[in-house]
Structure 1
């Protein structure tokens, strides 16, 4: 994750390079170090160096790193001819490089030549079955073709190898939600909460899935995770506050007084409603009476 100081330095160098103050190479180096994607600026300032013989020669062997960086940025920006030119030079310099082969497969992908890209990636995986980038590129191909089930299959295989990849678990969960496969999505969020118990985003997403599934037990659990989201965010997550109110209403209808803990739940609902009323008052004071009445009935 990029820190505030790192982002500030990146923005400073970017502004400096944009206004002719130099520092383009320093900016490009920092982009690589922080692993951020600012492809339009990378393409612009990368080409400004590569197209200047003096600047290019001053980089020495690092020029090949820049060619690779510009090639990826060019694909992001759909400047495929530029990407192709960069890769021709890289292939000439490194004729046996698997890294260059991966870039070439990415170019097939960028051009929508899915079968050729898949074939190239599969070949690369035969040589290195734990290449994370290639596994993820195959998932991207499946998603680009609208084949969600294939993407699910590939992500599950990927997670068998790289179980600690939080972004992959999150992506898999989102695909499951898009297909209304809520039980499977819930499992993904459970894994994320186990690995990152203080991340409110996962508590909230898990609660949303459980609420969507419905049923007394799911609503009760959803309410707990909405409450934990409120706790982790210092009471500032409007969606979680509203989720508590919705769950309280649903539980009341399904439990019909059977649950002795509903008194405590009612107190949580009242507190959540009060915070929401305050937020509505700040945003839309003229609509507060109506919003407040509706909220109290939830």
Structure 2
């Protein structure tokens, strides 16, 4: 393996660094060690040609990961001497401010860069990271909303926004995020499951009916194997019947019975030691 030979001092460091970039791997501690050794040798830098600047960038990021900020600073200074007005190098400056905990400087740097390049996805994401790093979830929400105004098809950004809303107990806003995700990928069982869980949390008979519907969708999309959704059906059905009192919802009772039987079958086959406990829990939920 190339990495082993590099560690032993006989491998081609340049080729190894290029492979890490190609496959988007970090290996930050080793990149810092071997990259610094490569860049500190004048003859090696000369052989790299124009690729030397890519290696400086790679080492700058790796050394930030390792909190070797003096190395990061040196690499960024070298890059600035060559590309003084580069947005790409400016990103690295912002990241270095972040690594030092200098949040205001990082925010100012990113804002200046966005004026030059308003649609830079990386910079928008770093603004979200700054807000989260300071524990300012309201600012993180605003930064994500600005990002999604431009990059509306980013699944991960919608999911992250939903999770922040849930942590802020803004469940209706979280539900909206999952609606967007479901519209973008209707076959993803996880989005249906997450949407159901938000409505279960909101509570109330109508919300519970919506939750039950989407738990059922998650079960269907996962070929009946989603235990979390099956439990959700049981919980929703029990809650609906408890709210309705004597006017029991027969459909909910039937669904609850079916979901319970599937859950018990799964535990009997795969985890028999917990079968008695699960049976007891499900029995307590029966109308």
TM-score tier after normalising by the smaller chain length: 0.7 to 0.9
Match of 1:275 among 262, 267, 284: 262
Distance in 2 separating the partners of 1:13 and 1:238: 43
SS of equivalent residue, structure 1 residue 155: helix
Measured after TM superposition, the shift of residue 37 of structure 1 is 4.4
SS of equivalent residue, structure 2 residue 85: coil
Match of 2:82 among 88, 93, 97: 93
Structure 2 unaligned residues grouped into runs of 5+: none
- Aligned pair 1:129/2:82, yes or no? no
Match of 1:105 among 76, 94, 100: 94
- For 1:297, the equivalent position in structure 2 comes to 284
Structure 1 unaligned residues grouped into runs of 5+: 1-11
Match of 2:275 among 274, 288, 292: 288
Measured after TM superposition, the shift of residue 252 of structure 1 is 1.5
- For 1:64, the equivalent position in structure 2 comes to 53
TM-align CA RMSD: 2.5
- TM-score relative to the length of structure 2: 0.88
Deviations 1:211-262 (A, max 9, x none): 1001111111111211222222233322112111111111222244757xx4
- For 1:249, the equivalent position in structure 2 comes to 238
- Aligned pair 1:171/2:160, yes or no? yes
Distance in 1 separating the partners of 2:271 and 2:8: 42
- Aligned pair 1:217/2:212, yes or no? no
More displaced 10-residue stretch of structure 1: 17-26 or 235-244 = 17-26
* Alignment length (residue pairs): 285
**Are the counterparts in 1 of residues 38 and 44 from structure 2 also a CA contact under 8 Å?**
yes
